[in-house]
Structure 1
Amino acid sequence: MATDVAPAPGTLAAFEAAKGFMPLEEGLALYAAAVEAGRLGLPLLEVGTYCGRSTILLADAARAAGVSAVTVDHHRGSEEQQPGWEFHDPATVDPELGVMDTLPTFRRTLHRAGLEDHVIAVVGRSPQVARAWGGELGLVFVDGGHTDEHAGADYEGWAPKVAVGGLLVIHDVFPVKLDEFTGQAPYRVYLRALASGAFTEVSVTDSLRVLRRTAPGI
């Protein structure tokens, strides 16, 4: 996989200005994976939109490939983004309902980046959307909830839909627990994908793992 591709300066600036947690180096690795996967001519899908930081990179790669970037999120925030947690952002709370709602921020992010026409935003819970999705995907980026329940369900729902030759990208893979906020569910999903025999590791960039689907059947 080529790692020397980079998004246009405007796209990179939009990425760095957007709310979110993905570091630049991991974002560049995700972009490189999306560019490669786009050559399959299939949609690129992420689980876990939040405010659209990583969506910008997927959308830019999708635009260049002539495919769509699909992003799935219920927009009510994952467990670590709720009030009382370290990563909670009060600006993402609906002032009328008093609950998390990252959808308006996400839409502003895409609009500012000029990428709205290249993204299909699906508002719903990942397992439910996966059951309704019938086609193959060139890339699946798993970056949703970080509990075993949620990360495991994302893998079970979406990994089988990665086309042979396509890429499965997993974020926040930490083999060693760093602190009380660092869950290891994505690491267990990563091990599960490798153990399935259907995926082979392509690259490692900090906590981002890129795997290629090399065999059918999961």
Structure 2
Amino acid sequence: MPSDLRGVADDVRGFLPDDEADALREAAGEHLRPGGVAVEIGSYCGKSAVHLGHVARLRGARLVTIDHHRGSEEQQSGWEYHDTSLVGTDGRMETLPFLRETLARAGLEDVVDVVVARSPDVASWWGRELDLVFVDGGHTDEHAQADYDGWARWVRPGGALVIHDVFPDPADGGQAPYRIYRRALEDGFAEVGHTGSLRVLRR
């Protein structure tokens, strides 16, 4: 990844350590095909979109990043990951302007398609197979299971399902992503990569 682009990603607020970012780019490089599409669930301010978007450009593919931009549960007022600088004039979380700024700085606006909506709503009308799905949205069971229900079925044979924040030990983090990871294995996905809390599974 070029140093200037990595510098943009490093400056963006987010929760993706460098080793996991490297693993995410590697997974995208292995699975994205020319003309193919990757979907990212959970844009936040765009850190992972820079990494995925960079690979999409190299591969002649596209990235669709989906988020309602009102923040997940743990980012609301009074919770651990609340950031007051991301609160809009109406008092609600509003991360869309930060994502747009990130993509502009990274020069990726022509590669990354931004969808402002709830993930299951988009999945309900989606109609084409995907090379890669990156699940990094809401971390409650309700939202993680809905993301899996909506998007795992669109991963093509040989494509990748990448799940972030997978913690087998409850002492390390919430269990909803771990539960969909276990569900994916039961559904026939095979684990092909494990870096930190990032799991890469292939259909």
Q: Could you say whether these structures have the same fold, taking a TM-score greater than 0.5 normalized by the shorter chain as the test?
A: yes
Q: TM-score, normalised by structure 2?
A: 0.98
1:83-94 aligned within 5 A: 83-94=77-88
1:172-211 aligned within 5 A: 172-178=165-171, 182-197=173-188, 199-211=189-201
Judged with a 3 Å threshold, the aligned counterparts in structure 2 of structure 1 residues 63 and 40 are, in CA distance, closer, same or farther, namely closer
Q: CA deviation at 1:13?
A: 1.2
Q: CA deviation at 1:172?
A: 0.1
- Aligned partner of 1:133 in structure 2 is 126
Distance 1:34 1:168 in 2: 10
Give the percent of matched residue pairs that are identical in Structure 1 and Structure 2: 58
Q: Which runs of 5+ in 1 are unaligned?
A: 1-6, 214-218
Q: How many residues align?
A: 203
Judged with a 3 Å threshold, the aligned counterparts in structure 2 of structure 1 residues 204 and 125 are, in CA distance, closer, same or farther, namely same
Q: TM-score, normalised by structure 1?
A: 0.91
- RMSD across aligned positions (CA): 1.0
Structure 1 residue 124 corresponds to structure 2 residue 117:
yes
1:18-167 aligned within 5 A: 18-39=12-33, 41-95=35-89, 97-167=90-160
- Aligned partner of 1:4 in structure 2 is none
Structure 1 residue 8 corresponds to structure 2 residue 2:
yes
Q: CA deviation at 1:41?
A: 3.6
Q: Deviations over 1:146-186 (max 9, x none)?
A: 0000000000100000010100000000000126xx21100
AA at the equivalent of 1:168:
L
AA at the equivalent of 1:123:
V
Distance 2:196 2:35 in 1: 28
